[in-house]
Amino acid sequence: MTMELKIIARIRNDFTAKFGIPRQSGLVDAVRSAIVFEPEYRSPEALRGLEGFSHLWLIWQFSAAEREKWSPTVRPPRLGGNTRMGVFATRSPYRPNGLGLSSVRMEQIRPSTPEGPVLIVSGADLLNDTPIFDIKPYLPYTDSHPEASGGFAAKPGEGALRVECPPALLERFPAEKRAGLLALLEQDPRPGYSDDPHRIYGMEYAGYDIRFTVDRHTLLVTDIKER
């Protein structure tokens, strides 16, 4: 039995490349995204009552990570990229069905725009233009489980990096997006298995190329250029 999934919306944000996107939803609240509905679903009636919820679930497609075949095991970056775990014990994009699930905070409902009603959310971990198949309200009394165990990914990592960026470089970047950029860099965009203090890494964000190095717990921005 198969089911056709219809794209109801697409996300719009400043993540134009996979490298640098937060590893999980909710980690970087300073970054805003817009959910723009497809023409068929631009009905304000479909959003009636949504204003009462603070968070949403998004069901979406790993559209930039498609493969013809699936593997029962994958190599999670959290474990250094060398240890294989079962695909269903991970959130890897390489799955039998490339579906993602994200919890985001709803910041604003714009009921009347040239593209119909638009949702402004924070904390999204989706690439720009990612197809969204469904939106559901987050219910804290049933969706939150503080006592849950997290397996090999129980801890969020080794902690935030200290970001150093020369003021002259930071001034090249749009002022209204600087907080988001710094928050993304604090999360350490590098793969979990990469730890070369001499390597210069590159990240695309908001139409700019960001270059940086990481030495232990300090990230140093070395260049910012508009693409």
Mind listing the pLDDT tens digit for each residue in 104-118? 999 999 999 999 999
Share of the chain residues as helix, strand and coil, in percent rounded to the nearest 5: 15, 30, 50
CA distances to 6, 41, 188 from 157, rounded to whole Å, are 36, 39, 10
Please list the residue range(s) of the chain that carry CATH number 3.30.2310.20: 162-226
Q: How many C-beta atoms lie closer than 10 Å to residue 200's C-beta?
A: 12
Q: For the segment 156-195, what is each residue's pLDDT rounded down to a tens digit? A: 655 689 999 999 999 999 999 999 999 999 999 887 667 7
Low-confidence winner among 78-82, 98-102, 143-147 (lowest mean pLDDT): 78-82
- Predicted confidence at residue 155, as pLDDT, reads 66
192 vs 197: CA distance, rounded Å: 14
Residue 19, CA atoms < 13 Å, CB-side half-sphere? 10
- The encoded tokens of residue 142 equal 């049933």
Q: How many C-beta atoms lie closer than 10 Å to residue 132's C-beta?
A: 23
Please list the residue range(s) of the chain that carry CATH number 2.40.30.70: 9-62+98-143
Q: How many C-beta atoms lie closer than 10 Å to residue 210's C-beta?
A: 23
pLDDT higher than threshold 80 for residue 131 = yes
CA distances to 124, 198, 202 from 127, rounded to whole Å, are 9, 28, 17
Whether the Cβ atoms of residue 132 and residue 101 lie closer than 8 Å to each other: no
E strand intervals along 81-161: 85-86, 99-110, 118-122, 131-137
Strands 73-74 and 85-86: antiparallel
Task: Could you please state the CATH topology (level 3) that the domain comprising 9-62+98-143 is classified under.
Answer: Elongation Factor Tu (Ef-tu); domain 3 (2.40.30)
**Mean local confidence (pLDDT), 127-131:** 97
**Mean local confidence (pLDDT), 120-128:** 97
Domain 162-226 has CATH 1.10.40.30: no
Q: How many C-beta atoms lie closer than 10 Å to residue 202's C-beta?
A: 14
Question: What three-state secondary structure class fits 227?
Answer: coil
Give 152's pLDDT tier (boundaries 50, 70, 90).
Answer: confident
